[in-house]
């Protein structure tokens, strides 16, 4: 397969077929496809399944390419996609993002419950009072409640966002391309779980390695590119990716590459940008150039 054809294939697969990666089932399907694609050109692929602690019931999965324990540079991005939420996407503010998601879930659940109560009051009670349980109308009401509670469960978990090309399929595509282009024993890649929730996947990598970790996030928008870190020594000079030193980045080995709007020390992506169905070729190419410089510097 020619390179352009392969990129088009990946774009269709991870934007259209595996574009929603919200539930564990959908994330596992994505990881199976991603692993199969990478195995076509390199064998060093490993799936790491873990929990945050022994009492935790939630299972997370990271996919590694290369040896993260021996690498001095790890390029990573999260592969999961978010629930529908209120407001713009706020970088580096997990609490605010969770609040915006939970607010929408609570509002949606409240409206849904009210509609269910109205149906019970106006429809179900009169039907059950005037018809036997085996009647057609009664059976239709029972069927309604089965479907009602099925969808209530989904509402309380949050609705998967369908607009994920900018966040974060764009970063997945660039990183997938890099796994084929960049070969170095001191370089590894990590596709991380839970980037849209509690950053469990990123925390796992930071605990497992002493490497410089470069985290790609929503790089495919039309907004400006930034490299954000707390340790200025990590910055790559001489490129179009603006450097921002932000004390809120807790780990001095962690470097973020993002595209977004900057206001003082806050970075956001608007709803309009998040819903774009086209990627910025300029930003994608600039990030590729940036990563090439990063790998060259850290692996001299």
pLDDT in tens, 117-129: 999 999 999 998 8
pLDDT tops 90 at residue 240: no
Task: Tell me how far apart the alpha carbons of residues 288 and 219 are, in angstroms, rounded to a whole number.
Answer: 11
pLDDT reported for residue 300 = 60
Find tokens 């929503």 and name the residue.
218
Find tokens 């024993």 and name the residue.
185
Find tokens 């603006």 and name the residue.
242
pLDDT reported for residue 298 = 66
pLDDT reported for residue 27 = 97
Is this structure's pTM higher than 0.75?
yes
pLDDT reported for residue 292 = 92
Task: Tell me how far apart the alpha carbons of residues 113 and 155 are, in angstroms, rounded to a whole number.
Answer: 10
pLDDT tops 50 at residue 174: yes
Query: Which residues of 14-117 form beta strands (DSSP E)?
Result: 45-50, 60-65, 73-78, 89-90
Q: Is the dihedral of CA 113, 115, 116, 121 positive or negative?
A: positive
For residues 41 and 57, the model is more confident at: 41
In a 3-state reduction of DSSP, which class is residue 217?
strand
pLDDT reported for residue 1 = 38
Q: List C-alpha distances in Å: 193 to 63, 81, 178, 201.
A: 9, 10, 19, 5
Total H helices, total E strands in the chain: 9, 10
pLDDT reported for residue 299 = 65
Mean pLDDT of 132-155: 89
Query: Which residues of 199-241 form beta strands (DSSP E)?
Result: 212-217, 224-229
pLDDT reported for residue 57 = 83
* pLDDT tens by residue, 186-226: 999 999 999 998 899 999 999 999 999 999 999 999 999 99
Burial of 223 (0-12, 13-18, 19+ CB in 10 A): buried
């Amino acid at each position: 397969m020619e390179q352009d054809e392969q990129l088009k294939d990946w774009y269709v697969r991870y934007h259209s077929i595996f574009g929603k990666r919200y539930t564990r089932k959908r994330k596992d399907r994505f990881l199976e496809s991603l692993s199969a694609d990478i195995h076509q050109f390199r064998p060093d692929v490993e799936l790491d399944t873990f929990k945050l602690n022994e009492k935790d019931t939630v299972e997370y999965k990271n996919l590694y390419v290369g040896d993260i324990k021996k690498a001095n540079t790890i390029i990573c991005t999260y592969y999961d996609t978010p629930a529908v939420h209120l407001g713009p996407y706020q970088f580096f503010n997990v609490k605010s993002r969770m609040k915006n998601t939970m607010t929408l879930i609570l509002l949606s659940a409240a409206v849904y419950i009210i509609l269910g109560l109205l149906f019970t009051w106006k429809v179900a009670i009169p039907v059950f009072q005037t018809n036997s349980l085996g009647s057609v109308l009664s059976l239709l009401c029972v069927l309604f409640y089965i479907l009602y509670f099925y969808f209530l469960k989904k509402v309380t978990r949050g609705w998967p966002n369908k607009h994920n090309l900018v966040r974060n399929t764009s970063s997945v595509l660039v990183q997938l391309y890099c796994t084929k282009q960049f070969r170095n024993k001191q370089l590894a890649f990590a596709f991380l779980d839970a980037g849209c929730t509690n950053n469990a996947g990123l925390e796992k990598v930071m605990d497992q390695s002493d490497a410089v970790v470069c985290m790609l996030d929503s790089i495919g928008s039309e907004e400006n590119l930034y490299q954000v870190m707390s340790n200025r020594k990590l910055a790559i000079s001489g490129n179009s990716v603006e450097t921002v030193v932000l004390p809120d980045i807790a780990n001095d080995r962690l470097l973020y590459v993002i595209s977004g709007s900057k206001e003082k020390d806050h970075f956001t992506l608007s709803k309009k940008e998040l819903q774009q169905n086209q990627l910025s070729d300029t930003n994608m190419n600039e990030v590729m150039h940036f990563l090439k410089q990063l790998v060259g510097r850290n692996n001299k």
